[in-house]
């Protein structure tokens, strides 16, 4: 139970690499904050600074208003789930979970009660006598979770905990982590580069790029109002279509069917907000397009089209019956258009 | 992380019947070549001195097993000042254990410091240790001897053991092993509240146990067979190790040498190393087969 406050946190590695360049995030009690961003943007570095595993070069990290910059990971009372689980290979599942409590001098019967309780929640009870190498990947992941939960820490930290699982298991664990985090009410920071995980888990979503926060807030707000082209193309799959415009014309010289707001040089719309029609609608954006590829995925299909001098993606529900080379019109309603200026910042 | 143990269920190469016969023939030949001298020594150790000195030596053991062995073990051998072999075995065991255990403790601790701690001149220390690889006992023997004399450690167990304890090889082996331990594991332990000592005791030592077992065997035999240093640093016959005593028992003149006792001593000298290998093999075979990391 804690709030976590990062104020202008920086990290310069000994070699001179500036991995985190001034990040401020305020995480309220019981919230789950997800850090998302491309590889190398400094997510793990930031998480490890919160954990106390990495020194903070500048700025402050505070738990419950108390600055913890100089405090080690043990005293910060955090628990961490690692990407490769980092289970102690020579210890049984039971001891893996009990180790942290033993080091803190928790009484034996209390340890036993908590370990068994946690094992029950995570359906690990029958595995307590096994060693990590006798477990499947999913089970190891659960043990790693169990080791964190059993400690009842102030803050949970997750560094891409699901990235070693297959897609189905990942979906399952994602739901479970969310439910557990809600039920336990422990403030959590979760690092991932999977935007789906980020969208579904986050109370607060932080999109990072090159050591800085690009945008921060409610995940659906970020989805609907991306602050920059970077966020627009990072959140949502397939990514948002981004079309450069100059003086009301696309790069191939064709004219824009609507007027762009002042300063806008990039027009964006999401594949799921666009539609294909035979006849152009009265309002909104219309683009003549030619089908270049069709990707049916079951409940929906993705149409890859050439339009405005580049390739765009449109999502259509059900099975698309379009032939390759077919000519059609792509349309998107006005309120679903995103405009960005030449620096990639949102203008409307 | 730990893979399911490899090697057990892997098919061996060349499982055709002829292949097996040839392989076994070669193995048996090898065993004979290695084992025959040992067998012959054993045979000689059970005959009287007269039988040994009058060739040819019989191929079958004689009837003086009990007499010869008890005379050597408890009676004492003339040429080495009447010290019983039992004392020699005890001395050598102390020295070999001291060297093996001492080397393991020193090297695991220095490897621990070098790999897991950041301190000034860390790499310098590493290189200094590394360079001592080029300075085995034989090279630094005179200054070491001088130091031992000054410290009054001649004819003591400490004098026999301490100069042989520093070990670059074992330190490097442990260092290589520690480097394979994932950083995440170290961090998990830190988050779990394990300080440097707990981490060493609860995580590093158990993970190193197969390495320690293998090293122990190698170092015990190394200590057991030391020659030059014990020769220099002991004057008192009571402090001799078995290898030194064995050498001293053999005189230039054949008639002067109690060959039957020499043979007994030789037999007894190889028993402890064999025991160590047999007792520890369960450990280090496991270490070689399934490396738990
Ligand atoms: N110990 C280190 N010393 C020097 N530079 C480092 C160190 N660790 C990370 N970096 C650099 O800091 C930057 C951020 O690394 P970080 O591990 O935080 O990325 P990340 O966002 O977690 O990426 P990924 O999604 O691939 O895990 C990278 O450019 C990396 O090369
Ligand atoms: Mg990372």
Q: What is the ipTM of this complex?
A: 0.85
Q: Is A55 on the interface with B (CB under 8 A)?
A: no
Percentage of the residues of chain B whose pLDDT score is greater than 90: 37
Q: For residue B55, is pLDDT > 80?
A: no
Q: Counting beta carbons within 10 angstroms of the beta carbon of residue A307, is it exposed (0 to 12), middle (13 to 18) or buried (19 or more)? A: buried
Tell me, what's the pLDDT at A82? 93
Looking at chain B from residue 75 to 134, which residues have their Cβ under 8 Å from any Cβ of chain A?
none
Mean pLDDT of B229-236: 89
Domain ranges of chain A: 4-224, 239-340
Structure tokens at B289: 């087969």
Nearest to A86 among B184, B193, B207 (CB): B184
Q: For residue B293, is pLDDT > 80?
A: no
Query: What pLDDT digit, counting tens, does each position of B212-226 carry?
Result: 988 999 999 999 999
**CA of B169, closest CA in chain A: separation in Å?**
26
Residues of B within 8 A of A140 (CB-CB) are: 1
**CA of A52, closest CA in chain B: separation in Å?**
9
- Domain A239-340 matching CATH 2.40.50.140: the answer reads yes
Query: What pLDDT digit, counting tens, does each position of A27-78 carry?
Result: 999 999 999 999 999 999 999 999 999 999 999 999 999 999 999 999 999 9
Structure tokens at A34: 């997800």
Q: Is A137 on the interface with B (CB under 8 A)?
A: no
What pTM does this model have?
A: 0.82
Q: Is A158 on the interface with B (CB under 8 A)?
A: no
Structure tokens at A260: 């762009």
The dihedral through the CA atoms of B56, B60, B63, B67 has a sign that is positive
Tell me, what's the pLDDT at A314? 93
Tell me, what's the pLDDT at B131? 85
Q: Which ranges of B117-241 would DSSP assign to H, the alpha helix? A: 122-131, 141-150, 157-161, 168-179, 183-191, 196-198, 205-224, 228-233
Q: Which atom of ligand 1 is nearest to the CA of A15?
A: 4
For residue A295, count other CB atoms closer than 10 A to its CB.
13
B6 falls in which pLDDT band (50, 70, 90)?
very low
- Beta carbons of B1 and A72 less than 8 Å apart: no
State whether residue A260 is helix, strand or coil: coil
Query: What pLDDT digit, counting tens, does each position of A81-104 carry?
Result: 999 999 999 999 999 999 999 999
Mean pLDDT of B244-257: 77
Residue of B nearest to A100 (CA): B192
Q: Alpha carbon of A42 to those of A26, A218, B268: distances in Å?
A: 18, 21, 65
- Beta carbons of A84 and B203 less than 8 Å apart: no
Tell me, what's the pLDDT at B288? 52
Q: For residue A348, is pLDDT > 80?
A: no
Q: What is the mean pLDDT of chain B?
A: 85
Q: How many CA atoms lie within 13 A of B245 on its CB side?
A: 35
Nearest to B188 among A72, A82, A140 (CB): A82
- Beta carbons of A88 and B293 less than 8 Å apart: no
| Ligand 1 binding site (Cβ under 6 Å of any ligand atom) | A 13, 15, 17, 19, 37, 39-45, 193
Q: Is B4 on the interface with A (CB under 8 A)?
A: yes
Q: For residue A119, is pLDDT > 70?
A: yes
- Phi then psi dihedrals of residue A302, to 5 deg: -110, 130
- Beta carbons of B292 and A53 less than 8 Å apart: no
Round to whole Å and give the CA distance between A259 and A248.
7
- Asked whether the beta carbons of B183 and B189 are under 8 A apart, the reply is no
Q: For residue B63, is pLDDT > 60?
A: yes
Question: What is the CATH T-level fold of the domain A4-224, as seen in this structure?
Answer: Rossmann fold (3.40.50)
Mean pLDDT of B236-261: 82
Q: Is A72 on the interface with B (CB under 8 A)?
A: yes
- Phi then psi dihedrals of residue B291, to 5 deg: -75, 115
Query: What pLDDT digit, counting tens, does each position of A168-187 carry?
Result: 889 988 999 999 999 999 99
Sheet containing strand A249-250, edge to edge, reads A249-250, A241-246, A266-269, A338-340
Mean pLDDT of A122-148: 93
Ligand number with the minimum distance to the CA of A193: 1
Tell me, what's the pLDDT at B65? 87
Strands A66-67 and A58-63: antiparallel
Tell me, what's the pLDDT at A244? 92
Residues of B within 8 A of A79 (CB-CB) are: 191
A281 falls in which pLDDT band (50, 70, 90)?
low
Instruction: Look at B99 and A262; give whichever has higher pLDDT.
Output: B99
Nearest CA residue ID for atom 18, ligand 1: A42
For residue B153, count other CB atoms closer than 10 A to its CB.
17
Q: Which atom of ligand 1 is nearest to the CA of A211?
A: 14
Query: What pLDDT digit, counting tens, does each position of A188-229 carry?
Result: 999 998 888 999 999 999 999 999 999 999 999 999 999 999
DSSP state of B164: G
Q: For residue A123, is pLDDT > 80?
A: yes
- Cα torsion B100, B103, B104, B109 to 10°: value is 160
- Beta carbons of B1 and A80 less than 8 Å apart: no
- Ligand 1 center to A209 CA (angstroms): 12
Nearest to B193 among A88, A90, A103 (CB): A103
**CA of B286, closest CA in chain A: separation in Å?**
14
Instruction: Look at B64 and A36; give whichever has higher pLDDT.
Output: A36
């Amino acid at each position: 139970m804690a709030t976590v406050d990062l104020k202008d946190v920086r990290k310069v590695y000994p070699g001179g690499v500036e991995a985190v360049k001034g990040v401020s995030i305020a995480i309220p009690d019981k919230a789950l904050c997800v850090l998302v961003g491309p590889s190398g943007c400094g997510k793990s570095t930031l998480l490890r600074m919160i954990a106390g595993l990495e020194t903070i070069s500048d700025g402050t990290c505070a738990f419950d208003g108390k600055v913890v910059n100089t405090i080690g990971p043990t005293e910060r009372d955090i628990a961490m789930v690692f990407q490769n689980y980092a289970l102690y290979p020579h210890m049984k599942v039971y001891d893996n979970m009990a180790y942290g409590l033993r080091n803190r001098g928790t009484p034996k019967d209390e340890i036993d009660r908590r370990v068994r309780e946690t094992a029950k929640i995570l359906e690990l009870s029958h595995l307590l006598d096994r060693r990590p190498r006798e477990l499947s990947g999913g089970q190891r992941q659960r043990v790693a979770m169990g080791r964190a939960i059993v400690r009842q820490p102030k803050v949970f930290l997750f560094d891409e905990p699901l990235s070693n699982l297959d897609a189905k298991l990942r979906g399952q664990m994602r739901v479970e982590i969310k439910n557990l985090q809600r039920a336990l009410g422990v403030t959590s920071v979760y690092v991932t580069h999977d935007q789906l995980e980020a969208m579904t888990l986050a109370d607060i979503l932080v999109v990072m790029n090159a050591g800085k926060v690009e945008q921060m807030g409610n995940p659906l707000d970020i989805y609907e109002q991306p602050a920059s082209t970077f966020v627009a193309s990072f959140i949502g799959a397939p990514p948002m279509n981004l079309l450069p415009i100059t003086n009301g014309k696309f790069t191939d010289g064709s004219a824009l069917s609507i007027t762009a707001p002042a300063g806008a040089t990039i027009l964006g719309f999401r594949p799921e907000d666009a539609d294909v029609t035979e006849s152009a609608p009265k309002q909104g954006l219309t683009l003549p397009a030619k089908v270049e590829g069709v990707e049916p995925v079951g409940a929906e299909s993705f149409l890859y089209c050439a339009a405005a001098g580049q390739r765009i993606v449109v999502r259509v529900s059900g099975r698309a019956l379009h032939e390759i080379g077919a000519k059609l019109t792509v349309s998107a309603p006005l309120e679903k258009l995103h405009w960005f200026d030449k620096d990639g910042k949102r203008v409307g | 992380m730990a893979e399911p143990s490899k090697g057990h269920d892997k098919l061996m190469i060349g499982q055709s019947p002829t292949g097996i016969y040839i392989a076994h023939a070669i193995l048996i030949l090898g065993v004979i070549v290695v084992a025959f001298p040992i067998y012959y020594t054993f045979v000689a150790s059970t005959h009287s001195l007269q039988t040994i000195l009058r060739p040819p030596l019989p191929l079958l053991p004689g009837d003086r097993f009990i007499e010869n062995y008890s005379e050597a073990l408890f009676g004492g051998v003339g040429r080495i000042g009447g010290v019983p072999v039992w004392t020699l075995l005890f001395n050598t065991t102390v020295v070999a254990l001291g060297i093996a255990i001492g080397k393991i403790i020193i090297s695991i601790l220095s490897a621990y410091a070098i790999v897991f701690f950041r301190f000034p001149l860390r790499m310098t220390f590493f290189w200094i240790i590394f360079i001592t690889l080029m300075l085995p006992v034989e090279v630094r023997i005179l200054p070491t001897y001088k130091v031992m004399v000054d410290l009054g450690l001649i004819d003591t167990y400490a004098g026999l053991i301490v100069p042989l304890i520093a070990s670059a090889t074992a330190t490097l082996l442990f260092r290589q092993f520690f480097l394979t331990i994932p950083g995440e594991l170290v961090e998990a332990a830190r988050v779990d509240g394990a300080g440097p000592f707990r981490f060493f005791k609860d995580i590093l030592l158990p993970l190193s146990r197969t390495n320690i077992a293998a090293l122990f065997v190698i170092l015990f035999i190394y200590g057991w067979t030391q020659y030059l240093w014990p020769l220099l640093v002991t004057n008192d016959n009571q402090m001799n190790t078995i290898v030194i005593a064995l050498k001293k028992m053999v005189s230039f003149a054949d008639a002067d040498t109690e060959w039957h006792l020499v043979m007994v001593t030789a037999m007894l000298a190889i028993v402890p190393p064999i025991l160590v290998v047999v007792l520890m093999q369960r450990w280090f075979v496991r270490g070689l087969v399934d490396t738990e990391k």
